[in-house]
Amino acid sequence: MKIVVLVKHVPDAQFDRHLSGPGNTVDRSESILSELDEYALEAALQLSEARGGEKGGNSVIALTMGPDGAANSIKKSLQIGAGEGYHLSDAALAGSDAAATSLALSAALNRIAQDGPIDLVIGGMASTDGETSLVPAQLAERLGWAYLGHAKSVDVDGDSVTVNREVDGHAEILQASLPAVVSVTDQINEPRYPNFKGIIAAKRKKTHPLSLSEVGLDASAVGTQGSLTVLDEAQERPARTQGTIITDEGDAGIKLVEFLAAEKLI
């Protein structure tokens, strides 16, 4: 089975995040592999390992679209256990919205499929920066494959994939034939950390750089030009103001309750 995992290089939520430049894009200087994509990678590795891993003819490929720094997210994926990586990078991609991103990724997937058909594409439930959750669904549409979103479990049997998704208190079991696109939630598994052997092994694994022309796309189809939405304006969150301080003059309890009631918190 050949599984491609979509991984995104996102700003580290541990640090303050800033918007900069034209299109108000996020400053990516302190960036990491999106935490939510680690669940997708883990799901792919578990599916592969259950079938005997690489020796059993399975492959897990990490695909990212992003600037040079995104190579780090591929590296991390390879350290964790992906077998090879593809890095789609081109200046013209900057400012791509979900629609342009899914177009670029679908072109990259078609290019990857030239070396052998892809069975499954797995992504996270959202990116921790853009948070649209649109890309996997759009990707499925562009490829003409089934989309099974926000899966809490994923299993493959023969040429069909089954997922369990929890929606508003009830569970849905969805099944589709392969190839398909699945997005997984952060409930699906406990992602592993890379170990030292993985870190060393990653140095011998291949990352294939891809340019727009190599995936057969024109610069005008992507980036701000090819996007359906453009971020005109963005504002940083206003600095937090000091909260309300209630000084106890014997009536703090009453004041507290009044405050909570006024804010409709009780």
The residue within the footprint of other proteins, chosen from 195, 213, 229, 244 (CB under 8 A), is: 195
**Closest-CA residue to 73 (of 168, 7, 19):** 7
2 vs 76, beta carbon nearer other proteins: 76
Amino acid at 162: T
Q: Which residue in the set 196, 235, 237, 266 belongs to the binding site for other proteins (CB under 8 A)? A: 196
How far is the CA of 139 from the CAs of 14, 30, 64, 104, 148, in angstroms? Answer: 30, 28, 14, 9, 12
Where b means 16+ CB within 10 Å and e means fewer, 65-93 reads bbeeebbebbbbbbbbbbbbbbbbbbebb
- The answer to the question of residue 200 lying near other proteins (CB under 8 A) is yes
**71 touches other proteins (CB under 8 A):** no
Binding part of the chain for other proteins, among 104-112, 170-178, 198-206, 229-237 by CB under 8 A, reads 198-206
Please name which of 35, 124, 39, 89 lies closest in space to residue 210, comparing C-alpha atoms: 89
| Residue 191 binds to other proteins (criterion: CB under 8 A) | no
User: Is residue 264 involved in binding other proteins (CB under 8 A)?
Assistant: no
Q: How many residues bind other proteins (CB under 8 A)?
A: 11
Is the Cβ–Cβ distance between 70 and 96 less than 8 Å? Answer: no
- Which listed range, 195-203, 209-217, 220-228, 230-238, lies at the site for other proteins (CB under 8 A)? 195-203
Asked if 203 is part of the footprint of other proteins (rule: CB under 8 A), the reply reads yes
Tell me which residues touch other proteins (CB under 8 A). Answer: 75, 79, 192-197, 199-200, 203
